[in-house]
Structure 1
């Protein structure tokens, strides 16, 4: 859907900020549903007759056909079902390579081979299983980046039971593809949002750097839903948290959050409530935000302080159950 001259508001974005040069042109916004969520793409353009709607749809379809496990004919579905004749495309390979990098940097806390566990806990296309220690142990045999190899367009799995899950990085990658498409078309001022993952460049119609609001880690939405509002000058942002995406076993009453620790096989239970990461690319922000939820507060703080190019806001609960916030130095400088 294409809209023009509209006021933008996103659950993750509020448009205000420090003044710069006001751009020539008008707002053209594209919005809709994709990848099981919503998207909003706001551009400042001078040629109102130029529409990107079909190209945007094509990008979403290409990503889905490559790595959407809910699509029966996607490459990832066929690989997960044991189809050894699959030839992966460049999209799959790029996300795989980035996942290998993040896995290595985080000591295995980010792993795209957790699909069997994700399914068993009830967060994938397959139905949930009754989870206990023996079930977890049996599935952990199929988790680990050493269980797969990619050579050109061929994927080799150690076992047919190894299941890929790109959900912790695919939306960020989609944001990057959309942003890179806009830049290739000469768009210098835009804000791209898919499912809360964002990438911005330039300024809005008032000549102000795009500002985005970061949701509080709560299941309720009150009159003040934002934990912080920050400027996003040519950067990307992603937030991961377990406060809204969880499942309760109807028989046992056990609450399972959607983040699975690939080193233990269990869903994450700790005091880190949400991790918001700012990086150049949305794919990096998305992947590291998920990794931090697995790593926990202390390890995440150490990691952020020792890695350039990443800034973060971590919301956690202390021993008294009260919310506390950690902000990296660079993140604090973005707060408006």
Structure 2
């Protein structure tokens, strides 16, 4: 039997479905992964025009926030001279503000300035590696990091480059892009849709049969549930993101080094936590919080989730399998 999660503040669909409404699907590639959108369209809707609009939204996020693209706004900021101030596009500035708030709340477990460490460990634009860097290299990269070094001029929507800071939005921009596509669909008068980028999702409204957008929560390889039980969540005004140590990693000397870097130490997070799934109204927040909780680990992560009312599911490895720990906000959604 499947477990079911339902938003605590479940509301009626925003717009009644037309009798002749139809489901349309689009998909493609972006940000080094794939994306897909499912939406309920009236017969008069232009599916081709909507596809172009979605692609424009995704291209816009890349142009502003990708550190893999040399001429993006983020890349230009990363190369800027020490002490210089830079006006950022509204979306990029909003993501930076949010990232710094998550960094502040988590005590630096999430740090958008950890780009040099991500590159050093081979998980950014720099070449991949199959052996860990030296302690001296880690110490040198850490000197370039520090979210608290970044000053903002909120009125002018500017950020100061303190010198050598390399912002990396990989743990938040994908979630923002999901939100941005959802907002675009709403603006087109499409009130019933499901957006997914690289496994992160946000749903609005319902399907033509009146049922919500049911999504099975991601689980690490090797997780066995009784009778193939799945945990299904109704993404009705809700987003989901999962951070896990099984996605990108390399093995060296009998040890696995996963892509989630602890900015406080400079090394990949090293504890028994296999994955963290976060449910939140905003996919951007679910994205960043799942990373922060992964770095914090099972105990500190659960304490942080309790204190901030975060709906989170922690899967912790042990010799005989996995243990699951649910935050109160997550457990409250169980039907």
Q: Do the two structures share a fold, i.e. TM-score over 0.5?
A: yes
Note the 1:64-79 alignment, pairs <5 A.
Answer: 64-79=62-77
How far 1:292 moved relative to its partner?
0.5
| 1:23 and 2:17 are equivalent in the alignment | yes
Note the 1:221-300 alignment, pairs <5 A.
Answer: 228-248=231-251, 255-300=256-301
Note the 1:14-163 alignment, pairs <5 A.
Answer: 23-24=17-18, 25-51=21-47, 52-82=50-80, 87-127=87-127, 131-151=133-153, 152-159=156-163, 161-163=164-166
How far 1:50 moved relative to its partner?
2.4
Superimposed CA distance per residue, residues 276-330 of structure 1 (whole angstroms, 9 cap, x where no aligned partner): 000110011000000000000111211222223x211111123x34201112344
How far 1:144 moved relative to its partner?
1.1
Partners of 1:169 and 1:299 in 2: CA distance: 21
Between 143-152 and 24-33, the greater mean CA deviation after superposition = 143-152
How far 1:154 moved relative to its partner?
3.6
SS class of match (2:261): coil
Q: TM-score, normalised by structure 1?
A: 0.85
SS class of match (2:165): coil
Q: Name the CA shift for 1:74/1:136 in 2 (closer, same or farther; >3 Å).
A: same
How far 1:48 moved relative to its partner?
4.1
Partners of 2:230 and 2:249 in 1: CA distance: 21
| Alignment match, 1:165 | 168
How far 1:108 moved relative to its partner?
1.2
Q: CA RMSD in A?
A: 2.6
Q: Name the CA shift for 1:175/1:226 in 2 (closer, same or farther; >3 Å).
A: farther
Q: Name the CA shift for 1:220/1:333 in 2 (closer, same or farther; >3 Å).
A: closer
SS class of match (2:176): helix
SS class of match (2:52): helix
Superimposed CA distance per residue, residues 94-141 of structure 1 (whole angstroms, 9 cap, x where no aligned partner): 100101111111111111000000000001112357612221111111
| Alignment match, 1:8 | none
Q: Is the 8 A contact 2:36 2:195 kept in 1?
A: yes
Q: TM-score, normalised by structure 2?
A: 0.86
SS class of match (1:176): helix
